[in-house]
Amino acid sequence: TGFSEEGMQGWANADPTNIRRIDYGNAENDIRHRFALSINYELPFKNIQGPAKYALGGWQVNSIVAWQSGKDFSVTNASGTSASPSSDPLACSGHSNCASPNYNGGADRPNQIHPAKLSHPSNHEWFDTSAFTPQDFGSIGTTARNSLYGPHFRHIDFSLFKDFPIFESLKLQFRAEAFNISNTPNFYMPNNVNSGPGTRLGNSSFGQITNMDPNYVPRQLQFALKLKF
């Protein structure tokens, strides 16, 4: 759970004798694909002489690139979403889990009636919200645990180094570093009933992504001088 920055996964808590069927699903740390690349390259200006060598020689560029597929999440019911019996329309009001007659803790999951994946998702509509519907009062929803995935995560760091010789083994290193140099925003779908309204059927933001990924940082630039001896 800590690895994927996710929280409660919407466990049903309705039939403790049948947990294997109800809560069998993808793990919280299920990152399907991850690409990481580290580059270190010294610019080829070793054979030049004179002032040009001092200005152009010794430059080194470095980069770290990370691209991974999205984190999984569960669709759960907002408080009192399960369909209540017509004789008592408020029977489930105020409870997060309507599958159990005793209203046990933890949000339950609704029914899924067709695939929810969209061919062109956006932050305004990340999945097909019509794929989910409240289950009957007192029943267990069919939506699988951690069945959907959020947006990809992309991050590129870049740096430029150069050593300026001063005397014998004494050198002055100039460093220019950029973190998330492309300033690419990274979003995610929180999977916690307290901070993930986009995953909760019955919420006005259901299906929408409004949160930045916890690992996201906007572009940062820094410059430094380092004395090496």
pLDDT digits (tens, 9 = 90+) for 40-97: 998 887 777 777 777 777 889 999 999 999 998 888 887 655 455 444 444 455 555 5
* Calpha distance 197→126 (Å, rounded): 13
162 by DSSP, 3-state: which? strand
pLDDT of residue 27: 82
pLDDT of residue 193: 57
pLDDT of residue 95: 54
Please give the share of the chain, as a percent, with pLDDT higher than 70.
78
pLDDT of residue 79: 63
Q: For the CA atoms of 131, 134, 140, 142, what is the dihedral angle to 10 degrees?
A: 0
Question: Higher-confidence residue: 149 or 145?
Answer: 149
Phi, psi dihedrals of residue 155, rounded to the nearest 5°: -155, 130
Q: Which tens digits make up the pLDDT trace of 190-225?
A: 876 556 789 888 888 999 998 999 889 999 999 999
Q: Which tens digits make up the pLDDT trace of 97-117?
A: 566 544 455 667 889 999 999
Give the full edge-to-edge strand order of the sheet including 153-167.
34-42, 59-68, 153-167, 170-179, 220-228
9 by DSSP, 3-state: which? coil
Of residues 193, 209, 186, the one with CA closest to residue 74: 193
Which of the 8 DSSP states describes residue 56?
A: H
Residues in the chain: 229
Residue 137 half-sphere exposure toward CB, CA atoms < 13 A: 17
Strand residues in the chain grouped as ranges (E): 34-42, 59-68, 72-73, 76-77, 111-112, 132-133, 148-149, 153-167, 170-179, 187-188, 200-201, 211-212, 220-228
Of residues 71, 79, 74, 70, the one with CA closest to residue 11: 74
pLDDT of residue 22: 76
Q: How high is the mean pLDDT of the chain?
A: 81
pTM of the predicted protein model: 0.78
Phi, psi dihedrals of residue 7, rounded to the nearest 5°: -120, -130
Question: Exposed, middle or buried: residue 149 (CB in 10 Å: 0-12, 13-18, 19+)?
Answer: buried
Band the pLDDT of 2: cuts 50, 70, 90: very low
Please give the share of the chain, as a percent, with pLDDT higher than 90.
41
pLDDT of residue 207: 94
